[in-house]
Amino acid sequence: MRRLLVLMALVPMVAHADFSLYGYGPRAAAMGGAMTAEANDYTAVFYNPALLVERKDVNFGFAFQYAGMVSNVQSKDLARPVDCTLCTSPATVGTSLGLLFPLGGVVKNRVALGLGVYLPTAVLLRLHAPSQDQPYWYRYHSNPERLQLHLGAGIKIVDWLKVGLGIQVLANLIGDSANVGVDLFSKQVTSGDINAYLGTRVAPVFSLHVTPWKRLRLGATFKYEMRLDYRIPATVDLSGIGTLGFVIQGVAHYSPHTLQFGAALDVTDDFTLSLDGEWQNWSAAPSPYVNVSIDLSGPTLEGLGLGSALDVQSARQPPGFADTFGGRLGAEYRVNQRFVARAGGFFRPTPVPRQDTQGTNLMDATTVGGSVGVGFNFPDPLEIFQHPITIDVAGQAHFLLSREANKAATDSTPSYAYSANVYGVTAAIRYDF
């Protein structure tokens, strides 16, 4: 029984920083994430795997990232405070690394492989599905707290055309069974077993890169939806009375089908502009809330006419999300061979409808953001490495515009208004071998 209770307790504790939220690497973060046609290092494994083949040397990078939220959630009824346990998302702290490896031999300069990994510092994976009457930030609360793995390959078809293939890797939390036997008359647990595992989930990525003109580059990337499914079935055999069976299941860490397309233009030899558009299929998103079903059955209960009277099923309410179309803009100015300045911005509409309905309190808002950053390189002072070492630094701010949730008087949650700002910094070291 103790093992069963431990497994049940894991649901709120175990639950994408998320590269799509904060960017993969300081260069991308500083340029607003407009990298579909412009990623020129290991970060291409996430933004556009086709671009991996553009690099001729082995490229490695290691980055540190921090992001924190300042939120404002206010009840519109002074007599009824909002449960603000989750009104501010926890800070996101993590490290990432990447590797780009061009292949040699007969495919030299034709095929390159890439690897990207993100590691949260506190946990490898957090699954948190809050209660439906608790307002919480849908994108920011636990979504960044997950191990991310991206693998990709870039292939040059001709000089002006490259294609890319990749995969995203996540895990599912699956419980095959948790069975407990209980003798109520002797107050003893007579048996108990549990079987659960983390299953691998893989989603494909397809990309394209075209260079119609020396100074103009075009790119497109399609990412299949990614999600973490969790399911924990359990059975308690109450000797002489009946069987209590229940299932806890749901979906977390959901990211929809995403189509990104971008252009990068070298305005001069030293100045580059990049522009991205992004469509996301949020209308297919499942509910982020836990689904619980309880079934109490047995000969004794059937004889009393209570075979299904005590069964319980949690209410299922589709989230009603809408597809979104957002944009990103980036600029990079190469001051000289040693120093680079960058800036960017983005617009991200929210897929989440107004939360006026009872039984749902997902906080999200249309977001505008800005970012700046610098990069510089220098020879290794210890003369261990032959090539220069590159350092990149970036800062960003997300401004989640104000929204309201107007609840009915009978709702357990009062009407409230909310907004937030998110600030982040990231730094990385890169090297070409």
Where does the pLDDT of residue 430 fall: very low under 50, low under 70, confident under 90, or very high at 90 and above? very high
Pairing assessment for the beta strands 136-137 and 362-363 based on DSSP bridges: parallel
Question: Buried b vs exposed e over 295-310: b needs ≥16 C-beta within 10 Å?
Answer: bbbbeebeeeeebeee
Question: Buried b vs exposed e over 150-164: b needs ≥16 C-beta within 10 Å?
Answer: bbbbbbbeeeeebbb
The amino acid sitting at 128 is H
Neighbours of 317 (CB within 10 A): 13
Handedness of CA 122, 124, 130, 136 (dihedral sign): positive
What burial class does residue 84 get, using C-beta atoms within 10 Å of its C-beta: 0-12 exposed, 13-18 middle, 19+ buried? Answer: middle
Where does the pLDDT of residue 304 fall: very low under 50, low under 70, confident under 90, or very high at 90 and above? low
At residue 190, the 3 state secondary structure works out as: strand
| Cα–Cα distance, 432 to 1 (Å, whole number) | 55
| Cα–Cα distance, 119 to 62 (Å, whole number) | 11
Where does the pLDDT of residue 248 fall: very low under 50, low under 70, confident under 90, or very high at 90 and above? confident
User: Mean per-residue pLDDT for 180-196?
Assistant: 77
Q: What Cα–Cα distance (Å) separates residue 333 from each residue in 28, 30, 271?
A: 14, 12, 5
| Region for 397 from its dihedrals, namely left if φ exceeds 0, alpha if ψ lies in -120 to 50, beta otherwise | beta
| Cα–Cα distance, 338 to 324 (Å, whole number) | 39
Model pLDDT for residues 66-100, shown as the tens digit of each residue: 999 999 999 999 889 999 999 998 888 999 999 99
**CATH number of the domain residue 181 falls in:** 2.40.160.60
Give Cα 203 distance to the centre of its chain: 13
User: Mean per-residue pLDDT for 262-284?
Assistant: 98
What burial class does residue 200 get, using C-beta atoms within 10 Å of its C-beta: 0-12 exposed, 13-18 middle, 19+ buried? Answer: exposed
Model pLDDT for residues 10-24, shown as the tens digit of each residue: 333 333 447 889 999
Where does the pLDDT of residue 306 fall: very low under 50, low under 70, confident under 90, or very high at 90 and above? low
Question: Buried b vs exposed e over 189-198: b needs ≥16 C-beta within 10 Å?
Answer: eeeeebebee
Model pLDDT for residues 119-136, shown as the tens digit of each residue: 888 777 777 788 889 999
Q: How many domains does the chain have?
A: 1
Answer whether 415's CB lies under 8 Å from 404's CB.
yes
Q: Determine the structural domain holding residue 162 and report its residue range.
A: 2-432
